[in-house]
Amino acid sequence: MTIAYSVPGLNFPFFAVMLDGAAAAAAERGDVSILTLDGQDADAVQLAGCENALARGISGMVISPRTVDGLAGCFSAAQAAGVPVVTVDRRAAP
């Protein structure tokens, strides 16, 4: 099982710590891998990462969107593909 973890930027300590926690939980479980998506503080980069992750057939996605509406296309595509999405730290437009 692969879970995509998409954040606005790993240069922000908060998101780096969150990723460390997710990676530790995945390692503890043993059958989960984390696909890290660094948005590099740009909506277009974060959106492209989400789209690529969906194309790879991920099992789920944890997202902290950079802006409220920057990932609307990703959420729609995930819903259409039946991929569950959890948002963290920020609100997002559906």
pTM of the model: 0.85
Number of H helices, E strands in the chain: 3, 4
**For residue range 9-22, what is the model confidence (pLDDT) as tens digits?**
888 898 889 889 98
**For residue range 52-90, what is the model confidence (pLDDT) as tens digits?**
999 999 999 999 888 877 787 888 899 999 999 988 876
pLDDT at 24: 93
Owning domain of residue 70: 2-87
Q: Which long-range contacts (CB under 8 A, 24 or more apart) does 30-33 make?
A: 31/1, 32/1, 32/2, 32/3, 33/1, 33/2, 33/3
CATH code for the domain of 27: 3.40.50.2300
Residue 93 placed within a domain? no
Task: Please state the domain count of the chain.
Answer: 1
